[in-house]
């Protein structure tokens, strides 16, 4: 673990720091899939009933969506199931 992450873990906690790579991967998968579908952030936001800023902050890795919002995003992006996302993350 780098010095930065050690210092950050001292502030936020080790568990929080350990979750960051997975959250970043999920954010990247959401953004990649949205772009594959030629969909704008606003369009995705409108489809699932959230502000555009929610999509932007999620894709940037600034926030983690609530589980119900995550499932709405997955449905709107035509992910067949959470298993598809998990498989993409793990490979």
**pLDDT one-digit tens code per residue, 58-90:** 998 888 888 888 888 988 998 876 656 655 655
Question: Which pLDDT score, from 0 to 100, does residue 17 have?
Answer: 62
Distance CA 20, CA 1 (A): 13
- Which carries the bigger pLDDT value, residue 3 or residue 39? 39
DSSP symbols for 28-69: HHHHHHHHHTT--HHHHHHHHT--HHHHHHHHTTSS---HHH
Q: Answer for the pair 26, 59: CB distance below 8 angstroms, yes or no.
A: no
In degrees rounded to 5, what are phi and psi of residue 80? -65, -35
Distance CA 86, CA 70 (A): 13
**pLDDT one-digit tens code per residue, 8-28:** 567 767 776 676 666 778 888
């Amino acid at each position: 673990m780098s010095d930065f992450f050690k210092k950050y873990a001292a502030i936020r906690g080790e568990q929080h720091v350990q979750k960051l790579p997975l959250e970043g991967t999920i954010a990247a998968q959401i953004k990649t899939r949205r772009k594959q579908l030629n969909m704008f952030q606003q369009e995705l936001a409108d489809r699932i009933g959230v502000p555009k800023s929610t999509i932007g902050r999620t894709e940037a890795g600034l926030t983690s969506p609530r589980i119900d919002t995550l499932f709405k995003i997955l449905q709107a992006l035509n992910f067949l199931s959470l298993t598809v996302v998990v498989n993409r993350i793990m490979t």
